[in-house]
Chains A and B, each alone.
Chain A
Amino acid sequence: MGGETLFGRIWNLHRIKPLGGGVDLLFVDRHLVHDLEAGPRLAALAARGLPVLRPDLTFATPDHAVVTTPGRATAATAAAADGTTSAGSLLADMRRRTAAAGIKLFDLGEPGQGIVHVIGPELGLSLPGLLIVCGDSHTCTHGGLGALAFGIGSSEVEHVLATQSLRQSRPATLRLRIDGRRAPGVGAKDLMLYAIGRFGTAAARGHAIEYAGAAVVALDVEARLTLCNLSIEMGAKIGMIAPDSTVFEYIAGRHYAPKGAQWEPAVAAWSALASDADAVFDRELCVDAAAVAPQITWGTSPQDVVGIDAVVPDPDAVGDPALRRSRRAALDYMGLSPGQRLEGTPIDWVFIGSCTNGRLSDLREAAAVVRGRRVAARVNAWVVPGSENVRRAARAEGLDKIFLEAGFQWREPGCSLCLGANGELIPPGQRSVSTTNRNFVGRQGPGARTHIASPATAAAAAIAGAIADVRKLPPAQVR
């Protein structure tokens, strides 16, 4: 019999009891709640006359539906106070109900506010070995720290609020090895888009992914979060990486992280989580990092992706008729033709942000491209920091100035153009290069055409006014 996996160890640690039929009752260590769920779910719980079992393990923040207009705190507060907008009443409801339940809320303008998957790691709420859930599919992000983290539906959010537990059937395991060295200009986002393009958006359905290999170990913590964030786009609810000293150094001193006498035993326990050398996975996949170029999507699924220097693939070249039809429909929606070079395709919008690429290292990467240059005249370019703390740290480094001087908008933290739930939308037919994770039909607004890419590639597109290869940008004249 083979050894235990990272996933299996953490799952077993959280098993309260088996419920039969392959379903386990699992204990939840951290429950993150955002503005689309907090008010409605707490209301539903109250209607059943049930209390929140562990408000001390539940943390809330508004991110999905808040506007990110500079100086918004006052405007949003006003809207919330009179409940005139749906988003405003969601926020007002969230404030009232989290306060009544004794749940910590990181509110607008406060350190700690931000996209749930950015604030969890940043505040030390997300730790190795924890079971973390949130009513959002990108909860897999937290697996970058070695946590077992996954997204849940609304009923399950209610279930966790009431019982601090979940009924779950155990997924199979899949190890994705990424070996080799990344070329310059290639980041975690590119590695993962490449893997999704190669294996497909359903490849890891029903599996928990463990990322391993030299190219994974070489990633810093924020890049690991980006990698795990995209697990759901390969079909997996869970993606994780064995915690190591890189992670422990990142966690040390964070606000909610273990301190004092608790630190050493915690690190000892985290160090013992990694998969055994003889652990057996249900499936194994491999990618060579050295083969990966900066990636860009051309269609309406994250698997519709190619290297930045490639041409739009021909739907007629695929054998499967259903796939051929869906690729034709995608090209139609995107306003692209087979064989067309993506590089040089004019764009209207650039969005840098989201739980995939809205962290400090992402803003640094984009700023390094933007510094000393100007956004092309026709392009609306936005930077939306992933959290209030990211915003403040970036300002302290002067990144806001670099973006503003180049002609970017520098906005308040939230999900913003990633899903357009806050009224911030890309107009129909307009084309955006976005550091987000989904290019679905209508995701950034009805008729919006989204190309997903890394922060460096998005920044290069803003400067060029067209899809561009960041590796070919001439050196900037530093002013």
Chain B
Amino acid sequence: MAQPFRPLTAILAPLPRANVDTEVIIPIGRLISHRRGTLGPFCFEPWRYLPDGSPDPQFALNEPRYAGARILLGGANFGCGSSREAAVWALWDLGIRCVIAESFGDIFRANCFQNGLLPVTLDAATLAWLTTWAGARRPPLLGVDLQHSRLLAAGRSIPFVIDPERRTALLEGLDDIGLTLKSLADIRTFIRRDLATRPWAQSAGGG
């Protein structure tokens, strides 16, 4: 169950690569051997470490100025690939609460909302500006004001668009299953009606 999204002011780490896939965010082997809550050290594992296991200084998240980052700046199609929700869990375990990108993989984006992690979509120009800003500013502290759908970068207010239902769910930490169970009567009515028109659909096994 998701935690309510609280106002956030935190370090922004830029990772301006396109098509960051969920395999790189959390390799499958780690996901099988480790539980949710302990995935942080393996987040971005293929990029984060040198062959000897030490942190790769070239990788943005290893740079001292981005230490403790809670906001990640991605490129286009962030979170493409496998549907594994553990990609969101691994980011969460790393401390990330918000990912900003030009666009997201559809399933990854849905998974973010299920776990209280805010995905923000911005146009390429604003994203480029933020990347430059994060590279120049020490420390690059970004404010995330979900209530008013805006980011605050040292005096500049950057609006973003988010579905109002999604925003409410994030702010209140609402749980989809709990919400849908309130519609159980509607689901049962649908099932009854549907059974009359598509009997084959609901009886795997046929006549």
Chain A interfacial positions (CB closer than 8 Å to B):
13, 16-17, 19-23, 25, 27, 29-30, 36, 48, 50, 53, 56-57, 59, 65, 86-87, 90, 124-125, 127, 129-130, 135-137, 151-156, 158-159, 162-165, 167, 169, 171, 201-202, 205-206, 232, 235-237, 256-263, 265-266, 269, 301, 303, 322-323, 325-326, 419-421, 438, 440-443, 446
Could you say which residues of chain A place their CB within 8 Å of the CB of B186?
A: 16-17, 25
- For residue A323, which residue of chain B has the nearest CB? B18
- For residue A270, which residue of chain B has the nearest CB? B200
Interchain CA distance A16-B201 in the complex, whole Å: 15
Could you say which residues of chain B place their CB within 8 Å of the CB of A301?
A: 19, 21
Interchain CA distance A260-B183 in the complex, whole Å: 35
A16 is contacted by which of B29, B190, B207 (Cβ under 8 Å)?
A: B190
Report how many residues on chain B are interfacial, defined by Cβ distance under 8 Å. 62
A162-B181, A261-B207 are known contacts. Are A322 and B16 too (CB-CB below 8 A)?
yes
Q: Is there a chain A Cβ closer than 8 Å to B52's Cβ?
A: no
Interchain CA distance A56-B164 in the complex, whole Å: 36
From B78-86, B92-100, B137-145, the one touching the partner chain is: B78-86
Q: Is there a chain A Cβ closer than 8 Å to B187's Cβ?
A: yes
Interchain CA distance A226-B27 in the complex, whole Å: 25
Could you say which residues of chain A place their CB within 8 Å of the CB of B86?
A: 154
Task: Sample 12 A-B pairs with CB under 8 A, ordered by A number.
Answer: A19-B165, A20-B165, A21-B164, A25-B180, A136-B83, A153-B85, A159-B177, A257-B206, A259-B207, A303-B19, A438-B23, A438-B82
Cβ distance A346 to chain B, nearest Cβ, rounded Å: 23
Most buried by B among A36, A167, A236, A256: A167
Interchain CA distance A361-B105 in the complex, whole Å: 31
Could you say which residues of chain A place their CB within 8 Å of the CB of B203?
A: 262
B165-207 CB mask vs A (1 if < 8 Å, else 0) is 1100000000011011101101100110010001111111111
A29 is contacted by which of B77, B107, B201 (Cβ under 8 Å)?
A: B201
Could you say which residues of chain A place their CB within 8 Å of the CB of B105?
A: 205, 235
Could you say which residues of chain B place their CB within 8 Å of the CB of A152?
A: 83, 107, 110
Q: Judging by beta carbons under 8 Å apart, are A130 and B19 in contact? A: no
Interchain CA distance A57-B179 in the complex, whole Å: 22
Interchain CA distance A172-B179 in the complex, whole Å: 26
Q: Judging by beta carbons under 8 Å apart, are A21 and B180 in contact? A: no
